[in-house]
Amino acid sequence: LDMEDAPEKRVADLPDDLLVEILSRLPAKTLCRFKCVSKSWRALMSDPAHRHMFAHAMPCFFFCRYYDNDTIPFPLAPPWGFVTAEGDGGLPLVDSTLSFLPASARGGDIELRLLQRASPPALLTGQRKSLKSSSQSLITTIDDFYAKACSAALGSDPSVSPHFHVFQLEEKQHSYDHFVNAVEIYSSETGTWVGWSPQNRRLYMTGHMTYFSGFLHLTMWYGVIAMVDAKGQSWRTIGVPLNGSRGKGFVGHSQGRLTYVDVRTRPKCSLVIYALEDYNGEWWTLKHKVSIAALFGREKLPNDPDNPVAAFHPDCDRLFFYDRLSGKRLMSYDMNQRRVQVICDPSDVSDEIRPFFLVCPVVLLDLRPRDV
């Protein structure tokens, strides 16, 4: 359904209170479809005053498996698995085989690596859309991949617009670290790419990204978050609280606020979670703190990842993390009840830096090509 062409007069003229009451009784998957009925319905369901009354889609994760393409053909054993946040092995909201992608993107070495480095890991719409090439191809060979180490991110907020943006990051290596050299941004609305560069400043990225409030947020060394807008016209950096932490945190968003989590090493090793209250004043509030021992049942070991966080729950005070050394388990932590739950313990998860990827179903209402 193309909401851009859907006349508002076709929607029943019901009072908002009655409509909210009706919609609050629907399951999450049906509710997601109802956002396509009209712009007014989508705005009503996205309103913070009503959002807590509606069912929310259960977060789910893809994880990377050990995979040998030489011995097992791809269709028989795809190199990724799927698990819901409840760990019940329920059916995914998307085709977990990614059958709508080209065969090269599902089995090729370069494309699979890019899929793992993306945030979210793939544009999962149930259909494939080819994007117009950017001004220059960032990846053409496997050597080019290792030289430029490109990452990608998808930016979409269905409550604001049915369109999406793709951020393509070009990185350069300096010593043992990578810094962002340029960002190219694709808009599904215009069908064009725009470029952005931090000029003479080196932004050393630690690898975590999230799209929120019209900006792509990227974690940098020494407790800094860089922000680039979807038009490539505006960017800035904001500081995060250090207070004994490593300054290599994880950024996400939950319940309408940008959220940052880092590992504090003093006085004892713990996970500290902050929420951003004011962008201009860079005012963060301490949302929660929990010891590493309480999460893992042991103290932090030297070979543990710098930051074990996989994702924030978008609608409640719940954190997802992984224990890479003890069976590579995916776990969740309820901040209100201070309860740890093991979601899954897959035996074949690969030992990647980020083994689990949160999949957020996105309703893209207009994927018609626009001179692309």
Number of structural domains the chain divides into: 2
Q: In this structure, are 78 and 158 located in the same domain?
A: yes
Does the pLDDT at position 148 exceed 60? no
Does the pLDDT at position 330 exceed 90? no
257-to-278, 317, 357 alpha-carbon distances in Å: 10, 12, 20
Q: Is 69 within a domain?
A: yes
Task: Say which range, 95-104, 300-309, 327-336, has the weakest mean pLDDT.
Answer: 95-104
pLDDT band at residue 268, thresholds of 50, 70 and 90? confident
Q: Whole-number mean pLDDT of the chain?
A: 72
Q: In this structure, are 234 and 86 located in the same domain?
A: yes
At residue 266, φ and ψ (nearest 5 deg) are -130, 145
Q: Is 364 within a domain?
A: no
Q: In this structure, are 269 and 144 located in the same domain?
A: yes
Q: Is 369 within a domain?
A: no
pLDDT digits (tens, 9 = 90+) for 79-103: 666 777 665 545 555 555 555 555 5
The whole-angstrom separation of Cα 51 and Cα 28 is 12
Q: In this structure, are 140 and 170 located in the same domain?
A: yes
The whole-angstrom separation of Cα 225 and Cα 212 is 13
The whole-angstrom separation of Cα 142 and Cα 135 is 20
Q: In this structure, are 60 and 38 located in the same domain?
A: no
Q: In this structure, are 128 and 28 located in the same domain?
A: no
Per the structure, the complete domain to which residue 68 belongs is given by 56-359
369: tokens are 């090509």
